[in-house]
A = this chain, B = another copy of it.
Amino acid sequence: MAEYKAPLKDIRFIMNEVFEAEKLWASLAGTKDSVDMETADAILEEAGKITASLIAPLSREGDEEGCHFEDGKVTVPAGYRDAFKTFSEGGWAGLTGNPEYDGMGMPKMLGAQYEEMLYSADISFGLYVCLTSGAALAIDAHASEELKTKYLPKMYSGEWNGAMDLTEPHSGTDLGMIRAKAIPNGDGSFNVTGTKIFITGGDNDLSDNIIHLVLAKLPDAPSGSRGISLFLVPRNKVDENDVVGENNKVTVGSIEHKMGIKASGTCVMNFDGAQGWLVGEENKGLQAMFTMMNYERLSVGIQGFAAAERSYQNAVAYAQDRIQGRSPTGVAAPEKAADPIIVHPDVRRMLMTMKAYTEGSRAFSTYVARFLDISKFSDDPEQKQHAEAMVALMTPIAKAYMTDRALDTCIAGQQVFGGHGYIREWGQEQLVRDTRITQIYEGTNGVQAMDLMGRKVVANGGKLFELFASEVATFIEAESDNQAIVHLLKPLAASVERLSDTTEYVIKAAQSDPSAIGAAAVEYLDLFGLVAYAYMWARMAKVAAPQADADEFYDVKVKTANFFFARILPKSVSLVESIKAGADEMMSLTAEQF
């Protein structure tokens, strides 16, 4: 595998130039005094170094070795322990954590860039860190002062890890059916009992304790999803001096044998009357989870394109080096027996497509992170509310569209290698296997599409959608005299128009056909993603165009935008046609006729 190089120039282009981080952070009440650009920039630099030099070299061997489960304990692959220690000492798990409990308080727009690099280096390793950050986020938002004081500093420092325990064997997407029980002990704590499956990092030997956030039902809870509460359950008891003691009746049943992310232990967890504490209100566990879900879903999207970035870097290096055949425009490397395969148009097609999607994803994830920051750090209620609405609308797209395109990209990156892409040696096949999970966990991409189409679009009659449409319209209007990108504005406007029209179509169809939302959902999310990426590329082109003559970095951005508009955006036309074919043909068989 080619060495991973953190794409810092691209990251800075997006964060600083396209989305003007400095201006934003200076304008927000919660960041203007606490975030300075010099620190942010040093963090990017350091993240680039540590991910490339410390973590990226572990990913191949981690995949080969996988996790081990013996005597009830999960051990991670060789090398992970030391790297995790070094990494944790850098305070990375607390990068965006609450400063009141020793977090670093950095904004998500910066955190998103760091996460990209971490996941490019190794998704499996990154999961241990990011699950901990995610659990800490939920604790910070909903737990009592006492729990926060006790657990957050140790989690931010990586001394203790976090895990999220939602799924049960019979209950995945449909969490209303969970059976885990929590019985009050009378002292403010609860006895938690139940079995959870697919628990990422549910156990490991990276740290001294695992802090589980467990969904369970109180004795007289209402049935269904309105009767679920959230509990903090440490694997090992912690005394008043924060000393980690005996096991808290939290044990590992087994670990899964999976297609990929093999260095991430996926555990069956058994809670047998484990002592836990309520996080948030009784029966409002799902709502408490939602706080962190927007962050987690964005993170999973970032996992996808981060792996795709790595696949792209490998594919470019291979395509520049591997010689095979001759260029159709004439011999390119007469001194060699053949030309490097990067001369072939079809290899270009793959590389350009990979590049267009991956950089589009980086822009889009930063765009969504920016709204997360505004909703968290603004003190202007209107601005905050608008940002929250945009986060709600964009999160399912960020999760599903970024990961769907990431799989496409990793498959293309494997294809560039021909037969060499199928053998393990080059690492490209691992990236396909690792990326595949991102389309499945944290709510499958089908579930994301239902969330977008149903809850985020149809349920409010398209109001949230209008926020996006008018933002793009404002951009088009503002740039209408910008000769450098005017050729992109017309197709951008047409694609938004197509999306608006389709939105209306589904809203109307849903009034009479209960299957309309589900039938349209996945293709609608695809269409929305395409249009959103077109908008991203137009914004990138806008910033790059004035500097394109002087600096080829910017010239390449403009050319990649042109490629996206010419070769990829046309997909939107067919998606509309498919959606408008409606639900009937999809639902025409009985369940038994399949």
Contacts and interface: CB of A to CB of B under 8 A. Distances in A.
B432 A436 contact: yes
B522 A346 contact: yes
Interface residues of A, number: 100
Contacts of A594: 316, 319-320, 342, 351, 355
A462 to B, nearest CB: 19
Nearest to A571: B574
Interface string A316-327: 100110011100
Given A324-B172, A450-B346, A591-B342, A585 B556 contact: no
Contacts of A425: 256-257
Interface stretch (A83-91, A374-382, A441-449): A441-449
Interface string A336-360: 0110101111111111100100000
A422 interface: yes
B444 A415 contact: yes
B450 A437 contact: no
Contacts of A258: 422-424, 429
Given A325-B173, A581-B570, A562 B588 contact: yes
Contact of A174 (B325, B349, B414, B587): B325
A345 B591 contact: no
Contact of A349 (B355, B424, B519): B519
A328 B518 contact: yes
A446 B346 contact: yes
B444 A418 contact: yes
Given A197-B419, A316-B594, 16 more contacts: A174-B338, A177-B324, A259-B433, A345-B587, A346-B522, A349-B518, A352-B586, A352-B589, A418-B440, A418-B444, A419-B441, A422-B436, A552-B593, A563-B588, A566-B584, A567-B585
6 contacts: A197-B419, A259-B423, A349-B586, A351-B594, A414-B436, A567-B586
